[in-house]
């Protein structure tokens, strides 16, 4: 008796057996491929599924001032993360975790969304968590699969100064910036130096990440550390020393408190920036770790622009501080000599236009030194009529204007020095008149400069023509030895020693003669030289300038001060310079010590 009611033909039987054999052989071949030929590949995948590599953040290098005072340090805090893949019931899960860490369910959802890097990547939900909270997380670990916490470093700022626009800040790498940074070993969500020296010296300050290996089950839940693999400890970054002097920086920040503007103090012999302030600023402490989006937006959209670096990015008309340029150009090209005089009645007539001097009733008869000392506009209106505009522009460019100083801070603006080509481009051939030259020679019109250019400019007078490279990086510690940054310097060889001597005599009179415009910049027991400027501002009150330097016979410091909407250079900016020079006298020169040797 047969089971089937009909007989299976021999052909069908052979075909069926052939199919079974082919399937069997295929399975056998695949088994051979997976288990033997590709054993290493798939065992590696299985191992990856079993082992999770947790990154350990490396502390960045500490940042010091020139004397070893800590400006930026590292502290450590526990941060809590969620791995989205391991969450079972989102609402219940977020609610329970929120109860433990003390935030709402909606807050956790928003944080996961803002810090999302993928289903298998940890998303930050709480930072700076107390140890008592971590204990509660451990108690409820079974209810909270996918919650992990790590001890991560974050930036701290123990010094009394902000130094905001020099130090800069860290920022998370987004998808756009990752395209450029991925080749350097960065990953999405890593912190990277975004501004200031944190950015400029990123490769020095950045450490090397470490890794911890933990074992997970089939659902991806952590079962404990993996003893078969050795953890890789993070390597801290290199420590960085800046040229900044902490006490001088503190004095400058307090001097500019409540105002807009910038102060830059520099060693004119080597370009070391001793203090640099841009106001308004912000506390660098808000950038410790990952900044909250609402805080970031409040800074970005603040009408006072605290993120704006006025030290090297903001441009202003230099006003009367630029009158030296016409004098030097005239002397070099034998257009006039120092004894050439002009009578200033308080205004200058050009065609149907009248150009006023800042002193309504004029200065009377003035020569070159008196014109600088008393900042007579009419003298320079008259002088520029004798000069070619391109000649003037070439003199100005010799001092580094219209080009970058290459200070080691990002976002430097080069300003603008107008010449014939520029005016022809803006106004067309023959579209501008001699009246433009009269505005330009007194540092108005299209002339724009930055505070960092101005301190380099006045430093050239302090050194009879040396052009230094302004910088804030001093040295860094690498492989148990200090490595000092080297900078280039140049010199202005176009002017004779008598020209430098005459200009410095005039700068001395500006501060020390009773008729000078900067008497309030004077300081105790040192010689002070300087020039004031009051820049017209079409958008509000005038800007106040003072540029100058002081010397005690052995060393010098130079500075540039700009007060936005600050009034006049002599009345408002010069007293700020006097405070800074007096601080320097009391803390360095009174003990016959040069800065950096304290």
pLDDT in tens, 234-282: 899 999 999 999 999 999 999 999 999 999 999 999 999 999 999 999 9
The answer to whether 382 and 349 have CB atoms below 8 angstroms apart is no
- pLDDT above 70 covers a percentage of the chain that reads 90
Between 233 and 251, whose confidence is greater?
A: 251
Q: How many other β-carbons are positioned within 10 Å of the β-carbon of residue 443?
A: 26
pLDDT digits (tens, 9 = 90+) for 187-196: 777 888 999 9
Whether the per-residue pLDDT at 487 is higher than 90: the answer is: no
Helix ranges (H only) for 156-227 are 164-167, 175-181, 196-200, 202-205
Round to whole Å and give the CA distance between 341 and 331: 14
Given a cut of 60, is residue 594 above it in pLDDT?
no
**Tokens read off for 513:** 């003669």
- Average pLDDT for the chain: 88
Which pLDDT value is given to residue 590? 59
Give the helix ranges, DSSP H, for 190-322. Answer: 196-200, 202-205, 246-255, 293-300
More confident residue, 15 or 441: 441
Q: Which two tokens stand for residue 596?
A: 């950096």
Q: Measured between alpha carbons, how far is 94 from 79 in angstroms, rounded to an integer?
A: 16
pLDDT digits (tens, 9 = 90+) for 64-85: 999 999 999 999 888 888 888 7
d(CA 248, CA 161): 10
CA angle (408, 317, 307) in 5-degree steps: 45
Give CA–CA dist 127/100, Å, rounded.
Answer: 14
- pLDDT computed for residue 138 by the predictor: 83
| Spacing of C-alpha 463 from chain mean position | 28
Radius of gyration over alpha carbons of the chain, in Å?
Answer: 34
Q: Which residue has the tokens 């009179």?
A: 509
The tally of CA atoms less than 13 A away on the side-chain side of residue 203 is: 2
Q: Which residue has the tokens 């329970």?
A: 96
Nearest to 127 by CA among 110, 145, 151, 93: 151
- Taking alpha carbons only, the member of 375, 268, 264 closest to residue 316 is 264
Per-residue pLDDT, averaged over 467-480, amounts to 93
Structure-token pair, residue 240: 């960085």
**Parallel, antiparallel, or unpaired for β 347-350 and 353-356?**
antiparallel
Q: Which among 59, 294, 56, 296 has a CA at the least distance from the CA of 154? A: 59
Residue 53 β-bridge partners: 213
Is the Cβ–Cβ distance between 157 and 71 less than 8 Å?
Answer: yes
Instruction: Please report which residue ranges of 264-356 form alpha helices under DSSP H.
Output: 293-300, 323-332
Dist. CA 132–CA 420, nearest whole Å: 71
H or E element in which residue 89 lies: none
The pairing of strands 63-64 and 239-242 is parallel
Does pLDDT of 223 surpass 70? Answer: no
Which one-letter DSSP state was computed for residue 147?
E
- The whole-number average pLDDT for the span 477-487 is 88
Compute the average pLDDT of residues 39-48.
55
Secondary structure of 254-282 as H, E, C letters = HHCCCCCEEEEEECCCCCEEEEEEEECCC
As given in the structure block, the two tokens for residue 84 are: 């989205």
Q: Which two tokens stand for residue 203?
A: 């490769």
pLDDT band of 175, cuts 50, 70, 90:
confident
Phi-psi region of 541 (alpha: psi -120 to 50; beta: other; left: phi over 0): beta
Cα–Cα distance for residue pair 415/403, rounded to 1 Å = 7
Banded model confidence at residue 49, pLDDT cuts 50, 70, 90: low
Distance separating alpha carbons of residues 318 and 323, to the nearest angstrom? 9
* Nearest residue to 151 (alpha-carbon basis) of 52, 287, 57: 57
Lowest mean pLDDT of 144-158, 196-210, 307-321, name the range.
144-158
Which range, of 45-49, 106-110, 180-184, averages the lowest pLDDT? Answer: 45-49
Count of positions (residues) in the chain? 598
Report the range out of 76-80, 90-94, 276-280, 299-303 with the highest average pLDDT: 276-280
Burial class of residue 534 in the structure, from the number of CB atoms within 10 Å of its CB (0-12 exposed, 13-18 middle, 19+ buried) = buried
Phi, psi of 375 (to 5 degrees): 55, 50
CA distance 553 to 322: 27
CB 421 within 8 A of CB 432: no
By the 8 A CB rule, do 51 and 213 touch? yes
Cis-peptide, bond into residue 160, ω within 30° of zero: no
Greater confidence (125 vs 514) lies with 514
What is the rounded CA–CA span in Å between residue 381 and residue 391?
16
Distances from the Cα of 262 to the Cαs of 72, 154, 282, 447, 576, in angstroms? 22, 29, 14, 18, 11
Collect all residues with Cβ–Cβ distance below 8 Å to 590 and sequence separation of at least 6: 525
Residue with more model confidence, 248 or 109: 248
Q: Which residue has the higher pLDDT, 591 or 349?
A: 349
Q: Which residues are within 8 A (CB) of 84 and not within 5 positions of it... i.e. 6 or more apart? A: 112, 116, 118, 119, 120, 123, 146
pLDDT tens-digit series, residues 17-38: 788 888 888 888 777 776 776 6
pLDDT, tens digit, 9 for 90 and up, residues 495-508: 999 999 999 999 99
pTM of the model: 0.85
CA 536 remoteness from chain centre? 28
Query: Whose structure tokens read 């500490």?
Result: 62
> In this structure, what token pair is assigned to residue 306?
């605290």
């Amino acid at each position: 008796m047969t089971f089937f009611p009909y007989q299976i033909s021999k052909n069908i039987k052979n075909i069926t057996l052939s199919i079974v054999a082919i399937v069997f052989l295929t399975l056998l071949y695949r088994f051979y491929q997976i288990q033997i030929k590709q054993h290493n590949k798939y065992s590696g995948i299985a191992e990856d599924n079993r082992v999770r590599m947790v990154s350990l953040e490396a502390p960045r290098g500490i940042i010091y001032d020139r004397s070893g005072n800590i400006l930026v340090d590292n502290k450590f805090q526990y941060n809590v993360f969620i791995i989205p893949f391991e969450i079972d019931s989102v609402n219940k899960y977020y609610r329970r975790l929120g109860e433990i860490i003390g935030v709402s369910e909606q807050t956790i959802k928003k944080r996961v969304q803002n810090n999302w890097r993928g289903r298998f990547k940890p998303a930050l939900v709480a930072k700076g968590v107390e140890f008592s909270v971590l204990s509660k997380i451990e108690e409820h670990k079974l209810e909270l699969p996918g919650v992990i916490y790590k001890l991560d470093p974050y930036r701290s700022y123990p010094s009394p100064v902000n130094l905001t626009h020099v130090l800069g800040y860290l920022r998370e790498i987004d998808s756009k910036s990752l395209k450029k940074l991925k080749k350097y070993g960065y990953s999405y969500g890593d912190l990277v130096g975004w501004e200031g020296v944190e950015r400029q010296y990123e490769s020095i300050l950045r450490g090397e990440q470490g890794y911890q290996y933990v074992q997970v089950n089939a659902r991806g839940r952590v079962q404990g550390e993996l003893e078969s693999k050795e953890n890789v400890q993070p390597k801290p970054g290199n420590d960085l020393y800046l040229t900044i002097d902490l006490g001088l920086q503190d004095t400058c920040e307090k001097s500019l408190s409540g105002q807009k503007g910038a102060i830059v103090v520099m060693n004119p012999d080597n370009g070391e920036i001793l203090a640099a302030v841009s106001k308004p600023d912000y506390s660098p402490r808000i950038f410790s770790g990952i900044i909250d989006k609402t805080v970031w937006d409040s800074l970005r959209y603040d009408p006072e622009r605290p993120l704006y670096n006025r030290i090297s990015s903001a441009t202003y008309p230099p006003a009367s501080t630029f009158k030296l340029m016409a004098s030097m150009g005239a002397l070099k090209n034998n257009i006039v000599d120092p004894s050439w005089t002009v009578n200033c009645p308080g205004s200058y007539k050009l065609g149907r236009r009248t150009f006023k001097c800042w002193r309504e009733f004029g200065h009377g008869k003035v020569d070159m030194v008196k014109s600088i000392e008393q900042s007579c506009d009419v003298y320079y209106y008259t002088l520029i009529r004798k000069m070619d505009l391109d000649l003037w522009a070439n003199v100005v460019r010799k001092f580094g204007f219209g080009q970058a100083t290459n200070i080691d801070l990002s976002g430097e603006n080069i300003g603008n020095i107008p010449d014939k080509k520029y005016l022809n481009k803006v106004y067309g051939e023959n579209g501008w008149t001699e009246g433009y030259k009269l505005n330009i020679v007194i540092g108005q019109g299209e002339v724009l400069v930055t505070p960092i250019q101005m301190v380099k400019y006045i430093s050239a007078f302090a050194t009879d023509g040396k052009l230094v490279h302004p910088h804030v990086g001093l040295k860094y510690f690498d492989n148990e030895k200090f490595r000092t940054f080297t900078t280039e310097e140049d010199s202005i060889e176009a002017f004779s020693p008598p020209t430098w001597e005459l200009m410095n005599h005039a700068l001395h009179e500006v501060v020390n003669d009773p008729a000078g415009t900067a008497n309030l910049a004077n300081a105790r027991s040192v010689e002070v030289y300087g020039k004031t400027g009051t820049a017209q501002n079409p958008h509000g009150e005038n800007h106040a300038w003072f540029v100058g330097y002081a010397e005690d016979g052995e060393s010098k410091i130079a500075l540039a001060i700009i007060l936005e909407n600050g009034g006049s250079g002599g009345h408002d900016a010069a007293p700020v310079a006097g405070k800074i020079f007096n601080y320097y006298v009391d803390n360095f020169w009174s003990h016959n010590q040069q800065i950096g040797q304290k």
